[in-house]
Structure 1
């Protein structure tokens, strides 16, 4: 079906010939909302995994410095590079996840409003 089809009045009238009640709308959009609810979870987990990688990378760098008994930029650089790479990957997953969650939420709200407007005299 798709959102674009639901933006067409003819398609909405096919699915909702009469004004749906709130329960019917909730049931209709429930599969989409269930999928959309995973996006914030994915974003949160990816940020936390990125943070965990950062902590592990810095811990590794300090562990190597301790093992060698000296502080050196070369030793520190490898661990910090790994730490930053995991942070980057976490953010590259989190940012689009939150963006698409908002897009889907707003699209569901917009289509719901169109369905209600189709059956009201306030057009």
Structure 2
């Protein structure tokens, strides 16, 4: 339990920071990709769709799992608070409330990672759908 007490916050925050970094990298990569996209570079609809939807799955995984990572940090924090209470033998309301409020910061950070990632995912998914439809129309016109 001492290991969790000493390192759980750091581990959860590092995981969420890595998730945020990967999400930001994927968003920037997609924006740069869309800027230089040329329809003529793709021979088929399938190749085009695969290219424009790349990295969207990564964003989906991050936005759907970041709250759970934050929740895990909160659960661990609450477990540590209850463990410390059982060792102390007395119930000090101030220490309980402090421990619980510190535990909730992990959930908040998980949501801070998830919400912008969800917004970026939806925007990029919409853009890829629109580009796919444009590609389809252009191919039909050229056929």
TM tier relative to shorter chain: 0.7 to 0.9
TM-score using structure 1 length: 0.74
Check whether the contact 2:59–2:121 (CA below 8 A) recurs between aligned residues.
Answer: yes
Alignment partner, residue 59 of structure 1: 79
Check whether the contact 1:65–1:71 (CA below 8 A) recurs between aligned residues.
Answer: yes
Mind listing any 5+ residue stretches in structure 1 that lack a counterpart? none
Alignment CA distance shift 1:41-1:30 (3 Å): same
- Which of 1 and 2 has greater Rg? 1
Q: 2:68 aligns with which of 48, 51, 54?
A: 48
Report how many aligned residue pairs link the two structures. 110
Check whether the contact 1:53–1:82 (CA below 8 A) recurs between aligned residues.
Answer: no
Higher helix share: 2
Mind listing any 5+ residue stretches in structure 2 that lack a counterpart? 1-31
TM-score using structure 2 length: 0.65
Alignment CA distance shift 1:26-1:79 (3 Å): farther
Q: Is the partner of 1:34 in helix, strand or coil?
A: coil
